[in-house]
């Protein structure tokens, strides 16, 4: 299950990153709002994959899972946004690199455990 969860996270991260890069590069959006939109797109993708493929939680109450997912995802959103801000403003690294490192740390250290034990249990 852990490997499938990491694959789902990787796929959602690809959606997140592609959305962010497209918004910054093509539409000239500022990096922080673009990253936030990317996080939302990745979150929707991740919920769908996790519910149906990783945790096989399709027979349980979908509304309750969405509410729990949004609670966990809100923490994820805050941690990613704060981590990105700190990395960009205090370390001065490229936004794509900062986004990647922060996403990995938050994904492994926060998301997986809460989704397994709280959202899709």
Q: What is the pLDDT along the chain (121 residues), one digit of tens a residue?
A: 788 988 998 899 899 989 999 999 999 999 889 988 998 999 999 999 999 999 888 777 889 999 999 999 899 889 988 998 899 889 988 888 988 899 889 988 898 889 989 998 8
Count CB-CB contacts under 10 A for residue 1. Answer: 11
Calpha distance 36→78 (Å, rounded): 10
Binning the chain into helix, strand and coil, the percentages to the nearest 5 are 85, 0, 15
User: Could you give the number of structural domains in the chain?
Assistant: 1
pLDDT at position 99: 82
By residue range, what is the domain housing residue 62? 2-119
pTM: 0.76
């Amino acid at each position: 299950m852990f490997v499938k969860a990491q694959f789902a996270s990787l796929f959602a991260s690809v959606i997140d990153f592609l959305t962010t890069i497209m918004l910054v590069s093509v539409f000239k959006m500022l990096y922080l709002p673009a990253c936030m939109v990317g996080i939302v797109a990745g979150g929707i993708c991740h919920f769908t994959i996790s519910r149906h493929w990783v945790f096989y939680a399709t027979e349980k109450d979908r509304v309750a899972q969405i509410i729990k997912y949004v609670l966990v995802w809100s923490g994820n959103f805050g941690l990613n946004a704060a981590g990105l801000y700190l990395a960009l403003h205090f370390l001065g690294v490229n936004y794509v690199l900062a986004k990647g490192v922060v996403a990995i740390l938050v994904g492994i250290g926060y998301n997986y455990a809460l989704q397994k034990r709280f959202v899709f249990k």
